[in-house]
Chains A and B, each alone.
Chain A
Amino acid sequence: MRTLLRGGRLVDPATGHDGTADVLVDDGRVAAVGRGLDATGAEVVDCAGLVVCPGLVDLHVHLREPGREDAETIETGSRAAALGGYTAVCPMPNTDPVADNAGVVEMVAARGREVGLADLFPVGAITLGQKGEELAELGAMARSAARVDCFSDDGRPIRQARLLRLALEYARAFDAVVADHAEDASLTDGAQMHEGEVSAMLGLAGWPAAAEEMVVARDLLLAELTGGRLHLCHVSVGGAVELVRAAKARGVRVTAEAAPHHFSLTDEAARSYDPVFKVNPPLREKADVEAVRLGLADGTLDAIATDHAPHAREDKEVEWATAPPGMLGLETALAVTLTELVGDPTRGTPEPHPSGGGAPEREGSPALERGAPVVHSPSGYLDLATAVERLTAGPARCRRAPGHGGPVAPGAPANLAVFDPAVTWTVDRAKLASRARNTPFHGRELRGRVAHTLLRGAFTVRDGRAQR
């Protein structure tokens, strides 16, 4: 089957290409890239006005299978991923049973292949049962059919520095990455939201920024000590961004991700007491949002990762303190990124922020004001190509995701996303493909929407509709 994606703006961060080009797909692979390609025998898909890029890669999702199939399944989560432009997602191990052995990670990856809507690259647990006590069999997971090269106890920090040290060292044998959820649990016991003015007024126990920063600092020092590969999950505070920036400058092997909600929402959202805004790490303050944006702009933060965390309706329709933390992300990440970080193409030329420099004077993001309509800022934090990089090649750099993240070049698997960068739409939680409904963006107008997603040349999404 031949498909010609004709006339789109091909943005391929792996090669640096950004310009109009046709992409010819044949037998699941990219056959040719260039202008005016011969369409003979190919189905032509008009991509004029659309962006063609590698399929998006999400380092951080919770698909809830096995264990909480009432909240999400590999099938519904994969469909949500495909609709979001993703061709590869990395499910976290906090399932029931925990993915701390070869059996579970293989089952997850195999179920993903069976569903066929996205490739799953499971993350294995660092410790048995994610209890933080003894190492799980990282080697068995690495050598399993799932070929796990990233380990995390996500949701739970590794409390003991010695255990993290050993994990970072041991994982070197497999060139694997250890991904940590940075939270000092002794400072966050009972915490419900970011500690600050809002938590104080709301009478909700606070999660101070220092609880993240001190663990990030510890983790960076241990990465330096061991030479191991460290990845930091969902960096949410300015101080942590600064620590990563400094560590990278001195050559520490660290990568880091940021979640869309951490660069688009603040702790003000908690004033509603609606637990749809409860997440861990929590929504922070405006200055942190700004720091995360600048971290993504200058590459301190390598990847945008959703931390897609579906929860059953009855688990979120409760008192704030009773609700589990977590938000949906797969179907909105690209649009939130384009809306919040990338200048509006209809409002003049985007001016990417010069990396490393101080923040220029700019309009604050109006979307930060809760309830305010989104007004597109004419200048962005990232240009479109950089934003695409943080969603594709960036995450693919943080761990192995063979065939994903580009390059879009002859011979490469045709894992592609095609999106309209200008169209606006309103998020409706009732229309999400995810089984859960806990999106914090319900009712928000966003810019940018996926038209097509191709996994190995086959449409998983076409004209905005999932193909299975």
Chain B
Amino acid sequence: MNKHLLSAADLTAGDITRVLDTAAHLAKVTDRAIKKVPTLRGRTVCNLFFEDSTRTRISFELAAKRLSADVINFSAKGSSVSKGESLKDTAITLEAMGVDAIVIRHGASGAPWRLAEWVEAVVVNAGDGTHEHPTQALLDLYTMRQRFPGFDGLKVAIVGDVLHSRVARSNVLALTTMGAEVTLVAPPTLLPARVETWGAAVSYDLDAVLPKQDVVMMLRVQLERQRAGFFPSLREYARLYGLDGRRLDAMADHAIVMHPGPMNRGVEIAAEVADSLERSVIADQVANGISVRMALLYLLLGGPEVVAA
């Protein structure tokens, strides 16, 4: 594995398997009464969040703490400019404090790349702008692997605002690396330029795609996209691209529903689907996030020995 985790594109199939296997191992820690191992004792992990994302921050925080790392949370909401201090100055400050790893969430695509140039610490991309969110993809793959024997030929539909979605980019990269067959479903306005080069199939018709899928991953659609004219109304969006009970019935019996959260119930996903005990693995995704992030921190920070589970 590379020194940093910036993009899912940096991970080979071997890397991904290693992360998922390590995560499975570490998940056992979470099942114990004392949910903690001493692996990263004395190491410091900084959660540097320029955007609000309580769930991702908490997930990383718990992951680091369960490995006995010291955790500091640096919330720097707003752009570096409006705050007055530049990202570079923040990076230099954290570096001077001897931080071992920086988990960064930032509203600007590519910010983790800039950060990685300025610090010696390990950088983990926890979501950058409209670009990538590689740990989300890894926890999604982990969740799929709990339900399916492997990725080869696994049919995954990613539905919604692919254009602005960091979850979609990282998932397409990781899933295609693992041999899954990805189909992107969205209105044409929410698909990126030359999406045909992504190695995924593309469809504008959710109903045509649904019955063939093993996994249906719904993306959050943001209200401001409607205001920016990408689609005429939330109602029309829900009608064409929302996953409701009727569409759930059209899915294969074994197929699962995923969502990176937070959900817009009634828009891209109906409440009855989100809460479906048989189909929805949304709560599993959240739980698995901790194990996968533990595995990543463990592997990137080079835990001294294999965890005794």
Contact = CB atoms under 8 A, between A and B. Distances in A.
Contacts, number: 75
Contacts of B128: 203
B80 A197 contact: no
B194 A197 contact: yes
Kindly name the residue among A196, A197, A200, A314 whose own CB sees the greatest number of chain B CB atoms within 10 A. Answer: A200
B79 A322 contact: yes
A84 to B, nearest CB: 29
Contact of B106 (A200, A206, A319): A319
Contact of A199 (B80, B132, B169, B193): B193
B223 to A, nearest CB: 17
Nearest to A321: B108
Given A203-B132, A203-B169, A319 B108 contact: yes
Interface in A172-208: 192, 195-197, 199-206, 208
B20 interface: no
Interface stretch (B11-19, B33-41, B109-117, B298-306): B109-117
B81 A321 contact: no
Contact of B114 (A206, A208, A318): A318
A200 B195 contact: yes
A425 interface: no
Interface residues of B, number: 28
Contacts of B88: 314, 317-318
A268 to B, nearest CB: 14
B193 A320 contact: no
B276 interface: no
Contacts of B130: 203-205
A318 B197 CA distance: 30
Nearest to A192: B109
Interface string B87-118: 11000000000000000001011110110010
A272 interface: yes
B110 A320 contact: yes
Interface in B47-89: 79-81, 86-88
B108 A314 contact: no
A204 B108 CA distance: 9
B108 A322 contact: yes
Interface string B163-182: 01010010000000000000
Contacts of A204: 109-110, 129-131
Nearest to B113: A273
A272 B112 CA distance: 11
B194 A196 contact: yes
A206 B130 CA distance: 12
B109 A322 contact: no
Contacts of B81: 318, 322
A206 B109 CA distance: 13
Contacts of B109: 192, 202-204, 273, 320-321
Interface of B: 79-81, 86-88, 106, 108-111, 113-114, 117, 128-132, 164, 166, 169, 192-195, 197-198
Interface of A: 192, 195-197, 199-206, 208, 272-274, 314, 317-322
In the A-B complex, the 7 residue pairs with the smallest Cβ-Cβ separation, listed nearest first, are A203-B131, A273-B110, A200-B192, A319-B108, A203-B109, A273-B113, A203-B130
